[in-house]
Structure formats: structure tokens, C-alpha cells
Structure 1
Amino acid sequence: MKSLYQNLNRAIEFLLILIFSLLVLDVLWQVFGRYVLNQSFSFTEEFARFALIWLTILGAAYLNGRREHLSMDYWLNKLSPADRAKRLKLIELLMFVFAFIVMVIGGGNLVYTTLRLGQLSAAMNVPLGFVYAIVPVSGLLIMFFSIYNYRRHEY
């Protein structure tokens, strides 16, 4: 399970770097087009918005897996090691349930509905279901990471 965790983290890191690089190139192209060519390209703003959606949601799953997301752990650090492990297991369970209900089920319904209705983005004509597909994918990743982190905590 540890090798799967490490390989998954490397793949997500690569994907995040790729998305961020494309986002930077897109914004540079947008600025170049507006100020040098005096022409605005309609797809650049929309692509930047979609890339930022993917970057933040996938980045949240990545940080969750590495246990580097923002947390207030002052009281947690005051607990004994056994109580801290119990509390961390409870947190992982709650994260698993949240990811399953909100991101996998809710996000899956969002993807299904937008694909079923045939909603397309205005400038790029991309089905919005593909843009929103990162929500259930990240939910599945968070669920996997929660299971992995749950098994790491010892009493």
C-alpha cells in the first residue's frame, strides 16, 4: 500500500506541475495578446478558470494525502500519544465520510447532470462535466489517503 501511495503522490505532483505550467503559459499568452498584439483571445480566460479549478481541488486532495493541509493542532498536540492517535483516526474517518458523500456522490451527480444536459463552456465548447470531473476523482483520492493515513496511526 505504501508503494501505491508513493506512486500516486508522484503522479499527482506531476499533474499539478503540468496544470500550473499550463496556467502560467495561458496567462502569459493572454497578457501578450492584450498588450502586444492588441487582441484578446476568448479561450484564455476560460482555460485559466478551469485550470485553477483543477489545481485547487486536486491540490487539496494531494495535501490531504500528505497530511500538510491547514489544521489547528494546538489542542491535538497536548494529548497523550494514545489519545492523539485515536483523535487522528476519528479525523480520518470523518474525512473519508465527507469525501464519499460530498465529493464522490455529490460531485458524481454534478458530472452526470452536466453531461446529461449537454452543457458546454462558452468559449472552448468543452463539456462542463469534464471540468467538474475532478471533484469525484479528488474525492476518491481523499478516500484512499484517509484509509492509508488511518492505518498509519497507532495506539
Structure 2
Amino acid sequence: MKTADIIFNKVNRFLEVFLVLIFGLLVLDVLWQVFSRYILNTSFSWTEELARFSLIWLSILGAAYLNGRREHLSMDFLYGKFSDANKKRVSILIEVLVFLFALIVMFIGGANLVYTTLHLEQLSGTLRIPLGYVYAIMPFSGFLIMCFSVYHISKISKNQINVLS
């Protein structure tokens, strides 16, 4: 197994564990919110905000994880009609477009958002944490998607993975 494959597998394993932890935190938070509201007859304002931030992290980091595993949603009706050579070209084009999207929107745009919110010292409403830390998942996930795209392009070029799985 090559070094790139080992790193790829370790990053995916880390993401799996981290996403399960975030999801577990989200479930516990929502359960506490429901319990406190209906059993204790009191509501904690921080539980709703923590649930929102957990869902943001879960969604965006989950998208990066699914991109790395090549399990994201795709429509392949037209793609299935291509020859194998064209499938390879289209798969590489798709990975390049995904890379560019992750670079421009997620990495550069996300880094700009993080910088702006940290520079303006914006805090969340109830948890009072800097919003830049919440938004930091965007450039991080964008970076992961870019790395996964480069990895997939190299594998597609060497015919080591299915062109679109």
C-alpha cells in the first residue's frame, strides 16, 4: 500500500470517528433540550444554538467525507452511455470542477468568512463563542475536498478506481 493510500485511509477513519462524535453530541443535546422543556418545564437557550452549530459541522464535514469516499449523490444516466475512454475524461473533468468549487467557494470564501468574523469579533448569541470558530469548518472541509479530488484524479489516471463509483 502506498503512502497516499495510507494517509487517505487514516483521514477517512478520523473523519468517521469525528462525525460519529458530532452526531452523538447533537443527539444528546436535542434529547436534553426536549427533556428540560417537557419534564423540567424550563428551557436552556444554549441547547438550540449548540444543535445548530453541530448540524452545520456535521453537514459540511459530512459532505467532505462523502466526497472522499466517492459516495456523494450523482446522476449517471448520461454518463452510463459514454465509452470507457470518455468516462475517464469526464470523471477527471468532474474532479477538476469539484476541486475548483472547493478552492474558490469553500476554501477561499470560507477562509475570508472566518477571517472577517474573527476580525470583527462576532460572538454567537448564547454560547458566546467566536463565530469564526464555527465557520472554520468551511475552509477545512474545502481543503479536504481538494485533497480528495487530487487523490481521485491520480487514481482515475492510473485506472486504480472505477471512473464513477
Q: Same fold (TM over 0.5)?
A: yes
- Aligned twin of 1:85: 88
Are 1:126 and 2:129 an aligned pair?
Answer: yes
For residue 143 of structure 2, give the secondary structure of its aligned residue in structure 1: helix
Match for 1:140 among 120, 140, 143?
Answer: 143
- Aligned twin of 1:10: 13
Are 1:29 and 2:36 an aligned pair?
Answer: no
Unaligned residue ranges in structure 1 (runs of 5+): none
Measured in 2, the distance between the counterparts of 1:111 and 1:133 equals: 6
Q: CA deviation at 1:82?
A: 1.2
- Deviation track 1:79-134 (CA, whole Å, cap 9, x = no partner) reads 11111011000000011111001111000000000000000001000100000000
Structure 1 residue ranges (4+ consecutive) displaced by more than 6 angstroms after TM superposition: none
- Aligned twin of 1:103: 106
| Paired letter, 2:82 | L
- How many pairs does the alignment contain? 155
Q: CA deviation at 1:152?
A: 1.1
| Paired letter, 1:83 | N
Q: Percent identity?
A: 61
Are 1:38 and 2:44 an aligned pair?
Answer: no
